[in-house]
Amino acid sequence: MGGLAHYIEGEGIPTAQISLIREHTERLRPPRALFVPFPLGRPFGAANAPDFQRQVLQTVIGLLGSTDGPILEDFPNKAPSPQELSEKELEGWTCPVNFASPVKDLSNADKFRKAIKQEIALLRPWYVESVAKQNGRRLDGLTKYRPEEIADLLIGYCEDPSMASFLDGEPLARAIKLTADDLKHFYYQGALARPGSVTYEDIDNWFFGESSAGMLILEVRKILIRSEDAALKRVGLINLLPHAMSHHAP
């Protein structure tokens, strides 16, 4: 959209856009953009929150009055949680299982691998229940690998970042993105089996702050960001950690 905005402006029509990935917008330098700290797919922040969505829309429209671009402004407010909107009476969400403290000493690969596989075993009954409740709909399934296999693959990458791609027909960068997404989505599906009011911030903070699998993805991200390969670096910078979770980055 940022590139398209330049062409539209060239025809004399002012433009303003919402940005969900700041790095892209900084490179494209569109005439006017509002960066919002929301997950991909939620440019207005929250469902069923018309007042808040209107605030986002009015802010981005307000940029149209500026003529000294390129402008990239930050939206200052967090999206309201479901509790703040209409569900105060619902039970607050907690993960259905209690994990041991996440492994943070990543130098011991065997200990790290064991901790993640214990988490997966604890979550699997809840994952099965969650899939059944959703009539078979799964959040994971982007790859052929089971979560235990993904843990092995990603730990293997941490041990040897020069390894070849482990996903047929896909470059290493995309293989890492898809498998990391699959592992995360397995955890999310299992965690969501317990009823309760939950926001994306709740579950993201739980995954990246309280699980060894979250620590693994953060470690992979750290290695990717240091890579000289542009595709690997891009996955590390953009795809593995939501912007709103940057406080979990090591």
HEC assignment per residue over the chain:
CHHHHHHHHHCCCCCCEEECCHHHHHHHCCCEEEECCCCCCCCCCCCCCHHHHHHHHHHHHHHHHCCCCCEEEECCCCCCCHHHHCCCCCCECCCCCCCCCCCCCCCCHHHHHHHHHHHHHHHHHHHHHHHHHCCCCCCCCCCCCCHHHHHHHHHHHHHCCCCCCCCCCCCHHHHHHHHHHHHHHHHHHHHCCCCCECCHHHHHHHHHHHCHHHHHHHHHHHHHHHCCCHHHHHHHHHHCCCHHHHHHCC
Residues 29 and 140 in one domain: no
Residues 76 and 150 in one domain: no
| 46 vs 241 pLDDT, higher one | 241
> Is residue 94 domain-resident?
no
* pLDDT of 107 above 70: yes
Residues 141 and 230 in one domain: yes
Residues 114 and 44 in one domain: no
Residues 113 and 75 in one domain: no
Residue 104: predicted pLDDT: 79
Global confidence as pTM: 0.68
> Is residue 68 domain-resident?
yes
> Is residue 87 domain-resident?
no
Residues 58 and 127 in one domain: no
| 106 vs 70 pLDDT, higher one | 70
Residues 76 and 119 in one domain: no
- Give the structural domain span for 156: 109-248
* Mean pLDDT calculated for residue range 189-203: 77
Residues 32 and 128 in one domain: no
> Is residue 91 domain-resident?
no
Q: 26-39 pLDDT, tens per residue?
A: 888 889 999 998 87
Residues 173 and 240 in one domain: yes
- Overall number of domains in the chain: 2
- The region of weakest confidence among 74-83, 100-109, 126-135, 198-207 is 74-83
Sheet of strand 32-35, all strands in order from the earlier edge strand to the far edge: 17-19, 32-35, 71-74
> Is residue 150 domain-resident?
yes
Residues 20 and 122 in one domain: no
Residues 48 and 151 in one domain: no
Give the confidence band of 229 by pLDDT, cuts at 50, 70, 90. Answer: very high
